[in-house]
Homo-oligomer: A and B are copies of this chain.
Amino acid sequence: MSGPTVHDVARTAQVSLATVDRVLNNRGGVSSKAEAKVKAAVAQTGYVRNMAAANLSRRRVYRFCFVVPSGDTGFVALLQAALERERSRLVEEQILIQIIPTHAFDVAGQVAALRDLDCDAVAIMASEAPEIQEEVSRLRASGVRVVTLVADLPQSDREAYVGLDNVAAGRTAAEFMGRFLGASGEVLMIAGSLSSRDHNERLMGFRRVMQERFQHLTLLPAVEGNDDAQSVERLVAEASAARPLVGIYAIGAGNKGLVRAVQKADAKPVTIVHELTPTSRQGLRDGTIDLVLDQDTSAAVVAAVRIMRDLTEGREVSAETGKIRLNIFSRENIQ
């Protein structure tokens, strides 16, 4: 009922089990003739290694770390929750995941967290700072497989990125903004931080499509909300003081403030935000927010674990696996 085993391979190759083992785990000391015989037998029998048995025998337990910003609201909270949800299932598959919370913009703390890591692979959501990239290199050099999560470090030695195509996200936001808005007017872009790569990429995509296709709309200079509700509220109020805004694209966190500001505004602008959190969900429901662009945290966690596992098991990883689909939520498709 089960497939062919190493014994079958040994028999058809007419070599001993030891030789098959040497070839399969390339331990060396095998003549090219014998190696060819084994490989032929593998192909002929259709042998595939029983990973469960292999891991069992070598008493392998995968230890994966997630270095992610702490926080009990918004996106990071959802990410934590998704991690917790996955944990129990993964334990049964001998995969232990450890969550290492850091402070969002605390580079030193993040470096410290990365420094005393002890695991097979790590998924990192951290700032794009040279110190961190160095730490990534060090980790890789010491045999740890590194994956970036949500925020990429393309200059680093990371082996895969799990997250959105942020330029495409910005372009998409612009497209809907443009199509929802027939008349002309001013559109405000609020980033969390103007120095973070992912936010910049979203801005870039947004700007480009606005320029290419929707010239009836005027883009105000991007402002920095610092992922903080109060700042965001103030910024929106200031921007709409002179003349009402027709659209707002909010890239970072702090949507509570955004919602408050929009509710106070004279004319309701088309509002597009990122990440489906309780706040943005409520905003959709009551009409304050028109669209939420979301990267599914569960999908991100699952993809990250899958890639880390593929990497540690020596499988190839296609960039495709890490691509998280951009989910678009409106009031009609949240339940």
Residue A93 lies at the interface, judged by CB distance under 8 Å to chain B: yes
Binary flags per residue of A45-87, CB closer than 8 Å to B gives 1, else 0: 0001111110110010100000000000000000000000000
Number of copies: 2
B-chain residues with CB within 8 Å of residue A180 when the two chains form the complex: 179-180
B-chain residues with CB within 8 Å of residue A91 when the two chains form the complex: 3, 48
Q: Which of A20-28, A169-177, A236-244 contacts B (4 or more CB under 8 A)?
A: A169-177
| Interface residue from B52, B92, B171 paired with A49 (Cβ < 8 Å) | B92
User: Does A169 lie within 8 Å of B333, measured CB to CB?
Assistant: yes
Say how far A30's CB is from chain B's closest CB, in angstroms: 23
Say how far A14's CB is from chain B's closest CB, in angstroms: 25
Residue A32 lies at the interface, judged by CB distance under 8 Å to chain B: no
Give Cα distance in the complex from A168 to B55, angstroms: 43
* With A51-B93, A94-B50: A59-B1 Cβ-Cβ less than 8 Å: yes
User: Does A175 lie within 8 Å of B335, measured CB to CB?
Assistant: no
| Interface residue from B51, B325, B326 paired with A92 (Cβ < 8 Å) | B51
Give Cα distance in the complex from A174 to B328, angstroms: 14
Most buried by B among A92, A205, A332: A332
Residue A165 lies at the interface, judged by CB distance under 8 Å to chain B: yes
Residue A327 lies at the interface, judged by CB distance under 8 Å to chain B: yes
Interface size of A by CB at 8 A reads 41
Residue A296 lies at the interface, judged by CB distance under 8 Å to chain B: yes
* With A59-B1, A61-B2, A333-B169: A52-B328 Cβ-Cβ less than 8 Å: no
* With A56-B52, A56-B56, A61-B2: A333-B171 Cβ-Cβ less than 8 Å: yes
User: Does A333 lie within 8 Å of B52, measured CB to CB?
Assistant: no
B-chain residues with CB within 8 Å of residue A1 when the two chains form the complex: 59, 61
Say how far A198's CB is from chain B's closest CB, in angstroms: 16
Residue A230 lies at the interface, judged by CB distance under 8 Å to chain B: no
| Interface residue from B53, B92, B330 paired with A175 (Cβ < 8 Å) | B330
Give Cα distance in the complex from A51 to B48, angstroms: 19
User: Does B325 lie within 8 Å of A175, measured CB to CB?
Assistant: no
User: Does A2 lie within 8 Å of B59, measured CB to CB?
Assistant: yes
Residue A182 lies at the interface, judged by CB distance under 8 Å to chain B: yes
B-chain residues with CB within 8 Å of residue A52 when the two chains form the complex: 51-53, 55-56, 93-94
Q: Tell me the residues in window 192-240 of chain A with beta carbons closer than 8 Å to chain B beta carbons.
A: 205, 209
B-chain residues with CB within 8 Å of residue A172 when the two chains form the complex: 330, 332-333
The 6 closest A-B pairs by CB, nearest first: A52-B52, A171-B332, A328-B328, A172-B333, A175-B332, A168-B333
Show the binding face of A for B, using Cβ within 8 Å: 1-3, 48-53, 55-56, 59, 61, 91-94, 165, 168-169, 171-172, 174-176, 179-180, 182, 205, 209, 296, 299, 325-328, 330-333, 335
A-B contact list, 26 entries, CB within 8 Å: A2-B59, A2-B94, A50-B94, A51-B92, A52-B53, A52-B93, A52-B94, A53-B56, A56-B56, A165-B335, A168-B332, A168-B335, A171-B332, A172-B332, A172-B333, A174-B332, A175-B330, A175-B332, A176-B330, A179-B179, A179-B180, A296-B325, A299-B299, A299-B325, A327-B327, A328-B328
